[in-house]
Structure 1
Amino acid sequence: MSLLLLGLAIAILLILRVPVAFAFLGPSLAYMLLDGQSSGMSLRQVTNAAQSFPLLAVPLFVFLGALANHAGLADRLFRFALAALARVRGNLGYVTVGGSVGFSWMSGSAVADAAALGKVQIPAMLRNGYSRRFATGLSASSSLIAPVMPPSIPAVIYAGLAAASTGALFAASVVPALLMALGLCAVVWLMVRRQPNLTAGRFDKQEFFASVRGVLLPALTPVIILGGILGGFFTPTEAAAVAVIYVLLIALVLRSLSLKGLLTAIRETVVTTGGIMLIVAAAALLGHILAMERLPQLLTEVFVSITESPVVFMLLVSLLMLVLGTVIDATAILVLVVPILLPIGLQYEIDPITLGVVLIFSLMLGLLTPPVGTALFVTAAVSETRVGEVFKGALPFAMPAVVVLLLTIFFPDTILFLPEVLGL
Structure 2
Amino acid sequence: MITVLFVGLAVLLFIGVPIAVCIGGAPLLAMAVAGNSRQMFIAAQRMITALDSTPLLAIPLFVYAGVIMGKGGISKQIVDFCYELFGWIDGSLGIVATIACMFFAAISGSAPATVAAIGSIMIPAMINDGYPPGFAAALVACGGIIGCIIPPSIPFVNYALITGQSVSELFAAGVIPGIIMGLALCLMTFVKARKNHWGSKTDGVHLDRVIKTFFKAIWAILMPVIILGGIYSGVFTPTEAAAVACVYGFLVAWLVYHALNPSDMMEISFEAVKTSAMILFIVATANIFSFIVSTQQVPMKLSNLVLGITHSKFLILLLINIILLINGCFMETTASTFIYTPILYPLIKKLGVDPVQFGVIIVMNLTMGLVTPPLGINLFVADGLDKRVNFNEQVKNVWPLFIALVAVLMLVTYVSGFSTFLVELMRAHK
What range describes the TM-score normalised by the shorter chain of this pair? over 0.9
Q: How many Å separate the matches in 2 of 1:183 and 1:64? A: 27
Correspondence for 1:139: 140
Name whichever of 191-200 and 289-298 sits farther off.
191-200
**Cα offset for 1:94?**
0.7
Q: How many Å separate the matches in 2 of 1:54 and 1:298? A: 31
The answer to whether the 8 A contact 1:71-1:261 is kept is: no
Which residues in structure 2 correspond to 1:10-25 (within 5 Å)?
10-25=9-24
Name whichever of 376-385 and 319-328 sits farther off.
376-385
Q: How many Å separate the matches in 2 of 1:326 and 1:90? A: 29
Which residues in structure 2 correspond to 1:256-275 (within 5 Å)?
256-275=259-278
Which residues in structure 2 correspond to 1:310-321 (within 5 Å)?
310-321=313-324
Correspondence for 1:345: 348
Deviations 1:10-33 (A, max 9, x none): 212212221100112223223324
Task: Give the letter aligned to residue 411 of structure 1.
Answer: V
Task: Give the letter aligned to residue 111 of structure 2.
Answer: A
The answer to whether the 8 A contact 1:161-1:338 is kept is: yes
**Cα offset for 1:206?**
5.1
Give the direction of change, closer, same or farther, for the CA distance of 1:265–1:201 in structure 2 (3 Å limit). Answer: same
Aligned residues: 423
**Cα offset for 1:401?**
1.1
Which residues in structure 2 correspond to 1:237-316 (within 5 Å)?
237-254=239-256, 255-316=258-319
Q: How many Å separate the matches in 2 of 1:400 and 1:262? A: 39
- Whether 2:202 is the aligned partner of 1:208: answer no
Aligned with residue 379 of structure 1, among 357, 378, 382: 382
- Whether 2:60 is the aligned partner of 1:59: answer yes
Percent of aligned pairs sharing the same letter: 33
The TM-score with structure 2 as length reference comes to 0.94
Give the direction of change, closer, same or farther, for the CA distance of 1:252–1:132 in structure 2 (3 Å limit). Answer: closer
Task: Give the letter aligned to residue 317 of structure 1.
Answer: I
Correspondence for 2:177: 176
Correspondence for 1:96: 97
Name whichever of 241-250 and 66-75 sits farther off.
241-250
Which 5+ residue runs of structure 1 have no aligned equivalent? none
- Whether 2:334 is the aligned partner of 1:331: answer yes
- Whether 2:30 is the aligned partner of 1:31: answer yes
Name whichever of 204-213 and 266-275 sits farther off.
204-213
- Whether 2:106 is the aligned partner of 1:117: answer no
CA RMSD across the alignment = 1.6
Deviations 1:45-80 (A, max 9, x none): 111112122111111111111111111111111111
**Cα offset for 1:337?**
1.6
The DSSP-based 3-state class of the residue aligned with 1:151 is coil
The answer to whether the 8 A contact 2:126-2:199 is kept is: no
The DSSP-based 3-state class of the residue aligned with 1:226 is helix
The answer to whether the 8 A contact 1:64-1:240 is kept is: yes
The DSSP-based 3-state class of the residue aligned with 1:370 is coil
Correspondence for 2:368: 365
Q: How many Å separate the matches in 2 of 1:73 and 1:246? A: 12
**Cα offset for 1:205?**
5.3
Q: How many Å separate the matches in 2 of 1:387 and 1:23? A: 28
Correspondence for 2:88: 87
The answer to whether the 8 A contact 2:134-2:390 is kept is: no
Q: How many Å separate the matches in 2 of 1:197 and 1:315? A: 36
- Whether 2:397 is the aligned partner of 1:393: answer yes
Deviations 1:353-381 (A, max 9, x none): 01100000111111111111111111111
Give the direction of change, closer, same or farther, for the CA distance of 1:302–1:78 in structure 2 (3 Å limit). Answer: same
**Cα offset for 1:317?**
1.2
Give the direction of change, closer, same or farther, for the CA distance of 1:63–1:327 in structure 2 (3 Å limit). Answer: same
**Cα offset for 1:163?**
0.3
The DSSP-based 3-state class of the residue aligned with 1:193 is helix
**Cα offset for 1:86?**
2.8
The TM-score with structure 1 as length reference comes to 0.96
The answer to whether the 8 A contact 1:61-1:153 is kept is: yes
Give the direction of change, closer, same or farther, for the CA distance of 1:292–1:197 in structure 2 (3 Å limit). Answer: closer
The DSSP-based 3-state class of the residue aligned with 1:65 is helix
Q: How many Å separate the matches in 1 of 2:128 and 2:343? A: 49
The DSSP-based 3-state class of the residue aligned with 2:148 is coil
**Cα offset for 1:204?**
5.6
Deviations 1:82-119 (A, max 9, x none): 22223223210111111101110101111001111111
**Cα offset for 1:8?**
2.1
Deviations 1:293-317 (A, max 9, x none): 2111110101111221223222111
The answer to whether the 8 A contact 2:93-2:199 is kept is: no
Which 5+ residue runs of structure 2 have no aligned equivalent? none
Q: How many Å separate the matches in 2 of 1:235 and 1:46? A: 25
Name whichever of 364-373 and 305-314 sits farther off.
305-314
**Cα offset for 1:422?**
2.3
- Whether 2:237 is the aligned partner of 1:235: answer yes
Aligned with residue 413 of structure 1, among 402, 407, 417: 417
Name whichever of 145-154 and 21-30 sits farther off.
21-30
The DSSP-based 3-state class of the residue aligned with 1:26 is helix
Structure 1 residue ranges (4+ consecutive) displaced by more than 4 angstroms after TM superposition:
202-207
